[in-house]
Amino acid sequence: MASIAPAVRPDHVPEARVVDFDIFAPPGGERDYFAAWKTLQGGPGLVWTGRNHGHWIATQGDLIRELWGDSERLSNAALAVTPGLGAVMDFIPLQLDPPEHKPFRNAVMRGFANQHVVAMTPMVRDVSRDLIADVRPRGGCEFMTAFAEVVPLHIFLSLIGVPVEDRAKLRPLGQQLTRPDGSMSVVELRDAADDYLRPYVEERLKHPGDDLFSRILSVPIEGRAWTFGEAQRMCRNLLFGGLDTVVAMFGNIAAHLARFAGDQDTLREDAARIPAATDELMRRYPTVSVTRNLVRDIVMDGVTMKAGDLLYLPSVLHNLDPACFDKPEQVDFDRGLSPVRHTTMGVGAHRCVGAGLARMEAMVFIEEWLAGIPPFRIDPDRPTKMRAGNVGALTELHLVW
């Protein structure tokens, strides 16, 4: 969704900091999302683009990590550079700032407690095995539609207790939030999610079950029950959060293993290395970016960003910054043996509440795919396709074996 014309440069933005960079259509992003973003490396730590109504972009890893966790000078209320999206979506807890967001986030975190993630592991394994058994005899598949868009959504929809058959109609909503194509207004997008969720929210409030929404809504907010409006905003937040990020992660992991046969061989020969390999692959292929709005002026990197400005923080430019990670573009499974301070799942007060679930799903996917599919590679006659956005993702990944 490229802007029609660049916004006028504000007076406080030095001309030397202006770049022509559209986060929804970076140069070459349809072929290589990561290379497209790396074109911003090596220059100032903060640049300004007039695309998408004008906003700052942090380009240096240390600044990105520092600002991502800054909840005093920055707010998450804007949500994204898409005009009006934040005001319309009004997510809980994602768009709340400390201290208001703490009791809501605590309730959500209790819903995602480790014992619940562990309990989902057999289902992830079973769904993965069934899909693999179906595609293996074909000698190849378009991975995104055959696997990546199925497993995470099946698990998430099972987790919240809605029909898994609804995946086909819900998946496009996640894509419109993170990579909008203009076919839906932000109001239409919110209303589509709310219309779907309303009967489930009402039921969970009246008659809680053992699903994720029920677990969260059973936790009092500072001694009181959730209101319907709060519950709706929370369920809306989690629905959108569960529809896209892990799909993108699966695609990038599969693409890497398809390109690097040696890494495939390593993990086939020693499955004990898969947890560390998962962490390293998550670091190497980050696709999530967030938008913050400034609540007061900030002087940083030789420029003044004004209260009300929007600031875009791409995890890719932190995780692939050689000042933050040694040889960052090289995948080194041993790197994942010790804790790595990457920003793939965010940092600070708004770190992804589903990070543990996403990591578990990725590990099980790698285990089952390598156990069930012979050595595989990217189809040389059908190149990969990607699309950038607040979550960048492969749209086509043809694998053969």
CATH number of residue 249's parent domain? 1.10.630.10
Q: What DSSP character marks residue 224?
A: B
Instruction: Note whether residue 4 is domain-resident.
Output: no
Q: Which of 397, 394, 388, 395 is nearest to 38 (CA)?
A: 388
Residue 119: inside a domain: yes
Q: Which domain holds residue 347?
A: 15-400
Amino acid at 151: V
CB-based contact 316:287 (threshold 8 Å): yes
1: in domain: no
- Is 83 part of a structural domain of the chain? yes
Exposure b/e, 216-238, CB count within 10 A at least 16 = b: bbbbeeeeeebeeebbbbbbbbb
Side-chain-side CA neighbours of residue 196 (13 Å) = 20
Rounded to 10 degrees, the C-alpha dihedral 74/79/85/86 comes to: -60
Q: Are 148 and 254 within 8 A, CB to CB?
A: yes
What is the H or E stretch that residue 314 is in? strand 310-314
Q: What is the pTM of this model?
A: 0.94
Residue 89 lies in a domain: yes
Let me know if residue 372 belongs to a domain. Answer: yes
Spatial separation of the C-alpha atoms in residues 193 and 170, rounded to whole Å? 8
> What domain count does the chain have?
1
Asked whether residue 3 is assigned to any structural domain, the reply reads no
The answer as to whether 339 is a domain residue is yes
Smallest CA-to-CA distance from 17 within 309, 295, 287, 292 is with 309
* pLDDT tens sequence for the chain (401 residues): 445 567 899 999 999 999 999 999 999 999 999 999 999 999 999 999 999 999 999 999 999 999 999 989 999 999 999 888 999 999 999 999 989 999 999 999 999 999 999 999 999 999 999 999 999 999 999 999 999 999 999 999 999 999 999 999 998 999 998 898 889 999 999 999 999 999 999 999 999 999 999 999 999 999 999 999 999 999 999 998 888 899 999 999 999 999 999 999 999 999 999 999 999 999 999 999 999 999 999 999 999 999 999 999 999 999 999 999 999 999 999 997 888 889 999 988 888 999 999 999 999 999 999 999 999 999 999 999 999 999 999 999 999 99
